[in-house]
Structure 1
């Protein structure tokens, strides 16, 4: 009975871990995205015959890792971190594509080490890895803006002189302007504005690009995409969707938290954007800029989009959903709306689910094997004579020897004496015990082909059925005589094999 309970515990743990592996490694990503909706209900379509809203999926700072990402970490740990983060990005991206966007915009920092000096072959391999993580149907338009990890910011001997040229040849122009649903989409090279030090026009630079858009007097609303957030007072609230802190001015090696105030005022006055989307900070932030243009007071809402990666210091990665419809003359109507879509807390799954449950499972398996071992020893002591030389134990000793000659494990026989034994050397159950054990669990009579028949299900049948079930589960080869260490390791492997197989299959599917 104790062995049966031990098997039930092991199979229960195996079922639990299998379910958790399916849920946390695949289903939870689909469930998280399933709760997200395009904000179409917040905008007004001009007329019934108008086309449906254009859906833009905005991704910020995927920042795929390489061997330079953690300089103080052992190489094998860096490699494991890279594999886990890549796997998380692949699962998140496959789930995000279920939103079926029309356009995808990446807000910079596509690759963590894209700015560093490296060979052309290494950069090509790095870029291919990015494209394999984020495959996209060619019918879906995609646009990129440079981040400080793509082209560099500031001066350092570690930064490659080819960084900007490599970015342009692989991702597209540093500054770009497109039209979506009668909205002017401005894709800005923010790191170059910071490198300029102040607002000045450099041939082919972002300032000249912005001035050209301003002089064109485009009547369509402007949607500005910039990697670096615009300037705001320190301590400004970021809204309820931020995990911690706020965006403050600051600079460091290869980064600057916000654009300068003069550069930010220049962008607001020149472009008069209806909405701004930025990245770089990794956490969500919502702030409304106030400015004056042509003697009128204006407002522009800026959304700093969450990082798409689990490795950027936030617990819940995410992306932004933007819906656009052609603007119309209805007073007070909105032609654009956006909403946040959160992804699972992958780090929390590892730290708050897998690790505690792993420790608990090991403790349970350990206790189960202690009970099994102690029970086996107790049975041995019960049926083993104190001295085999005593004449009074001669029949029992002979019986044990004859049982061993059958090829059946001795401990197995000691725990489960055969009912058809005819030696008479072991004590048989008392009549009351036999009657109790023989009492049927289910009995019913019926007439079939003119004769009364009866179906009876006894406890022996249930025991045999349980043995068959465990046999199908792969536990039929667990000897009752297995020691504690061997039994513990066997049970750990029995519990781990299915979730590990699920994890391996899902990982292969994501990386293929």
Structure 2
């Protein structure tokens, strides 16, 4: 027997010392005392660890290796049994094939189908042969992060992030592949909690006057957010945004459409979830946003139209109720300065575009000469701005927050939250006010549904020549024509691109522009009066897809249950395999001598059957026997017949008693095996009593049905989940 802490090979403590040579506790104490070293608990821990490692090594070299090999053998046998034609072409696998097609439709094909139905040729209405510039607006992707569902437990939050990211990625990939837009504009709220994640530098705490504004649900998570989510986390979120939208940009093609300068993706317009709103805008967060996405206030000339992007979440600080109490100049100052110069900026941008189409250098050229500083004339410096009265392109205003409108202004029939109210009989126009169909004129912590009236009027007036406006923030579609004070501008609030923004059917806005000009920038004679056409493209309803999965799941279970019950009725081929019979580790003999010590009786071992319901050896009886051993598998009836035909039958009867006492000096206990598992003897031999009777047959049938239900359902479930996991992983 191995000593304590032995690895079973005669070596104690796992260090390779023979157990006989281990020092005693007294020798230990003496040795430590002589060396003036205190006894440490580390020695005991080292000894225990060594012993455990030694035992583990012995186990892996012995029983562990045998167990592993046994497991591999069983797995190989099971795989071999499953790779037959009967199994591969079975009904459950046919059902799995149906699931594969449905999931390919729900996770891939439906996106391509929906976006293909929005093809430009299906709704554009331009003269034949024109080459319009094709642009797409994407609003409020608002990628999910810890700010979105702060109380949601760990498994659900990552799953929500993965599903919503995959939804936007698949939609955007098909958008690029099917539509090939020349330009893509984002209308703000790129992140959901971008304003909450600290920057590397700068104060990120809420001001004292604003701490009570934050909802109680967020206040209890604020310390955790500031501790766990900083600039590094924001950078990872930025990379995640780029993985969805930037990395798939070239799928739309490297070259622009006919007659276009190039392809552009512009994502510099911020939303309130990126920076905050009004007086509570986080200036450090805005500096970071500018550094990675570009200037928030900008002018772009695209398709002979001028696009003016305005940071209206910062502009709103100028009309905030807190303006007279705290210094908000750092927030609204830059955007107000931009609006003062925006008309001149527009004229310069138009001139650069015209110079390009004329084949000239876009930038200014200066005469090279040397002048005395005191006599130099700076009043005649070359400029790109031709001044008032110069050609101007139709201007499009881009703002994250919609412009002001009167409460109850209806949004039209394409709004999903609530359709327009039905007008009374005899009324041709819409019902006004229609508060259910309108954007609510209200606000709260870090948001405001529409801009202040003064800011809205100022935007239209300062920019000038605004023919259309596009906004986001509301997540649903809304189309209105504003009042005269706001220039009668037509505004479209674009649907959210995300499935998690409270709108069942996400979407994006398509814009087709055609504005032919001469070499001065003026419209050509005969040009269309309307230079811009729009179309709302709806994406798949993810909720409908999940409902389809649920209906198919319930139907699959019911079908498999019905099939299992029909199995014995129509004698169908079962899917469930019989368990692989394995010999028991404790083998019982067929014959055992009554008196010990007589080795003339051979042990005949009968294989057990894993299909036996109650006992592996259901019955036994005592019988007499001859000196020769009965062959393995021979039934008791056959043994009796053999004795009857034997020439020594009379002698056997004479020497044997009632209970088989004879020349073998004692009775033998014969353990009969269940011969009904043997097909050749099924009809000619005895069967155990547990199989007789209608009740037993019913129990046996129910057992087969139950096993069939479990096996088929489990096979379908794990294969379907495995394929869904693969599709989710691939994005």
1:140 aligned to which of 263, 287, 295: 263
**What secondary structure sits across from 2:484 in the alignment?**
strand
Q: Which residue of 2 aligns with 1:86?
A: 165
Q: CA deviation at 1:482?
A: 7.0
Report which stretch shifted further, 240-249 or 325-334: 325-334
Larger radius of gyration: 2
Equivalent residues in 2 for 1:59-458, closer than 5 Å: 59-98=138-177, 99-118=179-198, 119-134=230-245, 135=247, 136-137=249-250, 140-144=263-267, 145-154=269-278, 160-197=282-319, 205-214=334-343, 216=347, 219-245=392-418, 246-270=438-462, 271-291=464-484, 299-327=488-516, 328=523, 329-330=525-526, 333-350=529-546, 352-372=547-567, 404-405=677-678
SS at structure 2 position matched to 1:248: coil
Alpha-carbon distance between aligned partners in 2 of 1:173 and 1:257, rounded to the nearest angstrom: 24
Which ranges in structure 2 are unaligned for 5 or more consecutive residues? Answer: 1-85, 199-229, 255-261, 348-387, 419-437, 517-522, 572-610, 612-617, 621-636, 642-672, 686-700
Conservation of the 8 A alpha-carbon contact between 1:43 and 1:333: no
Indicate the residue corresponding to 2:99 in structure 1.
17
Structure 2 residue 146 is matched with structure 1 residue 55: no
Aligned length: 418
What is the distance in 1 between the residues matched to 2:274 and 2:554?
A: 41
Q: Which has the higher strand share?
A: 1
Cα distance change of structure 1 residues 360 and 225 upon mapping to structure 2, 3 Å threshold: same
Matches of 2:703 and 2:282, distance apart in 1: 62
CA shift, 1:375, in A, is: 8.3
> Could you list the runs of 5+ residues in structure 1 that have no partner in the other structure?
381-386, 406-412, 414-420, 427-479
Q: TM-score, normalised by structure 2?
A: 0.52
Instruction: Find the aligned partners of 1:207 and 1:37 in 2 and give their Cα distance.
Output: 39
Separation in structure 2 between the aligned mates of residue 499 and residue 326 of structure 1, nearest angstrom: 52
CA contact 2:278–2:314 (8 Å) conserved in 1: no
Q: Following the alignment from structure 1 to structure 2, what is the Cα–Cα distance between the partners of residues 191 and 240? A: 28
- 8 A Cα contact 2:148 2:192, kept in partner: yes
SS in 1 for 2:295: coil
Higher mean Cα deviation, 177-186 or 11-20? 11-20
SS at match of 1:186: strand
Structure 2 residue matching 1:274: 3-state secondary structure: strand
| Distance in structure 1 (CA, Å) of the matches to 2:682 and 2:294 | 89
CA distance in 2, matches of 1:31, 1:40: 14
CA deviation digits over 1:225-251, x for unaligned, max 9?
A: 111111112222212211124211111
- Residues 360/239 of structure 1: CA separation in 2 closer, same or farther (3 Å cut): same
Verify the 8 A CA contact 1:276 1:301 in the aligned structure 2. Answer: yes
Change (3 A) 1:166 1:366: same
How far apart are the structure 1 equivalents of 2:674 and 2:329? 100
TM-aligned CA deviation for residue 155 of structure 1: 5.2
CA distance in 2, matches of 1:498, 1:282: 37
CA separation of 1:506 and 1:423: change in aligned 2, threshold 3 A:
closer
Structure 1 residues 166 and 325: CA distance shift in structure 2, 3 A: same
Q: Residues of 1 paired with 2:478 and 2:318: CA distance?
A: 26
SS at match of 1:162: helix
Whole-angstrom CA distance in 1 between matches of 2:343 and 2:180: 33
Per-residue CA shift, 1:164-189, capped at 9, x if unaligned?
01100111111110101211111111
Cα distance in structure 1, aligned partners of 2:552 and 2:682: 50
CA distance in 2, matches of 1:486, 1:161: 65
Q: How far does residue 275 in structure 1 lie from its aligned partner after superposition?
A: 1.2
CA distance in 2, matches of 1:147, 1:423: 80
C-alpha deviation, 1:124, in angstroms = 0.8
Change (3 A) 1:121 1:201: closer
Q: CA deviation at 1:261?
A: 1.1
| 1:209 to partner: Cα distance | 1.9
- Give the drift of 1:388: 11
Change (3 A) 1:331 1:88: closer
Query: Secondary structure of the equivalent of 1:165?
Result: helix
Superposed displacement of residue 143, structure 1: 0.9
Q: Give the Cα separation in 2 of the matches to 1:292 and 1:38.
A: 34
Partner of 2:716: 495
Instruction: Summarize deviations over 1:291-336 as a string: whole Å, max 9, x none.
Output: 259xxxx532111111000000011111111111225343752211
Deviation at 1:161, TM superposition (A): 4.5
1:500–1:210 distance in 2 versus 1, CA, 3 Å = same
Residue 454 (structure 1) aligns with: none
TM-score, normalised to structure 1, is: 0.72
Give the drift of 1:497. Answer: 4.4
Q: 1:467-508 CA distances to partner (integer Å, 9 max, x unpaired)?
A: xxxxxxxxxxxxx99745543332123223444343233333
